[in-house]
Amino acid sequence: MSRKIFVNLPVKNLKQSIDFFTKLGFSFNPQFTDETATCMIVSEDIFVMLLTHDKFKSFTPNPICDATKSTEVLTCLSSESREAVDEMVSKAIAAGGNTYNEPQDHGFMYAHGFQDLDGHIWELVYMESSAIQSGEHLTEQYADAQA
């Protein structure tokens, strides 16, 4: 069975969030878009539902986390190259987002990220194809890189 993932994120201003992510190159499925929600297409199997706070509250009994003050989730997307990572971060900053750290170069893996308009953290990662294909010692290499 092939699975799809739908990440649900609360946003304060749906229109501003759509404009922000459009500037980053994402598109939206109009079939699942109204004044309370939109379905951002990340890939064939990955979607992000951007939901107004009122809509998001209808799915959970818990209060919404203020992502500018607390971190509930890190959303990480793979990238085709180091340059693609840097390009997406630059687009996010130009569109009103923020960066929260310096790029991280671990040799076999390169990462950087941004916070969107609501403070949600988006990690972007490029991993050398040889590291992905072999899979050998990948966990050890990552642990060494973190040390």
| Tens place of pLDDT per residue across the chain (147 aa) | 778 999 999 999 999 999 999 999 999 999 999 999 999 999 999 999 999 999 999 999 999 999 999 988 999 999 999 999 999 999 999 999 999 899 999 888 999 999 999 999 999 999 987 765 555 444 554 455 445
Token readout for 40 is: 């951002």
Q: Return the residue matching tokens 């992510």.
A: 21
Q: Return the residue matching tokens 């308009």.
A: 117
Please say whether the dihedral angle defined by the alpha carbons of residues 33, 38, 41 and 47, taken in this order, is positive or negative.
negative
- How many Cα atoms occupy the beta-carbon half-sphere of 127 within 13 Å? 15
The CATH homologous superfamily to which domain 1-62 belongs is: 2,3-Dihydroxybiphenyl 1,2-Dioxygenase, domain 1 (3.10.180.10)
Instruction: For the chain, give the number of residues.
Output: 147
pLDDT of residue 129: 78
Listing from the earlier edge strand, what are the strands of the sheet with 121-127? 74-78, 121-127, 109-115, 104-105
Angle between helices 14-23 and 82-94 (to 10 degrees): 140
Q: Is 26 helix (H, G, I), strand (E, B) or coil?
A: coil
Q: 65-147 has which fold? A: 2,3-Dihydroxybiphenyl 1,2-Dioxygenase; domain 1 (3.10.180)
Q: Where are the domains of the chain?
A: 1-62, 65-147
